[in-house]
Structure 1
Amino acid sequence: SPRSGHAAFARVSPSKVQMIVFGGVRHSTGHKYNDLWALGCGHLDADMEYWAPDVHAEEGCRWELLCSTPEACGPPPAARSLHTLVPFGPDHALLFGGYTPGAGT
């Protein structure tokens, strides 16, 4: 869904390159998100040392919802925007700060 204020990082493994995205806000409604997505594009080279052209869904890129239920990943963090998300080891990420409506942060 369209959003801004989200956080993202690249997750690179020998077999794939993904962009991991968490949270954000949809400005038309003010709705804040606490979902975790991965954008995978099979044709991206993790060792590239140049600017890649724009990536489009019709070129083989696909969004995947990573945590659809609390049973899959545990309870999600509060919905937020304007936060930071960084990789922490091969399968974890560290989420810090952000704006959560009603929480005073």
Structure 2
Amino acid sequence: MRLFAYENAKLYKEKTKKWHDSRIKERVFEKNQQVLLFNSRLKLFPRKLKSRWSGPFTVMEVYPFGAVLVKDEKSGREFTVNGQRLKHYFGGEVDREKTSVNLKDA
């Protein structure tokens, strides 16, 4: 009975991995393309109040094995990041100013 349980667990894991891998979309980045960077250091702050994506950044060079050299247009700083932390950016300007909303009694 125990042998069948191990075999069923192995089959389930293989099937789940195949399903998960089929849903992953490969991201191909090219030079001079706009991207957003995932900021994983915002775990201390509530998710609803601050966006986890920062940018847009410009792709300067794509290295083999997924590394990407990006440039921040405002500061001119260039740095290398893992390509899995990037996603394509198709929008316009990003408003980075903080806004406040005053709630009044109705």
TM-score under structure 2 length normalisation: 0.25
Greater C-alpha Rg: 2
- Could you say which structure has the greater relative contact order, defined with CA pairs below 8 angstroms and 6 or more residues apart? 1
Structure (1/2) with the larger strand percentage = 1
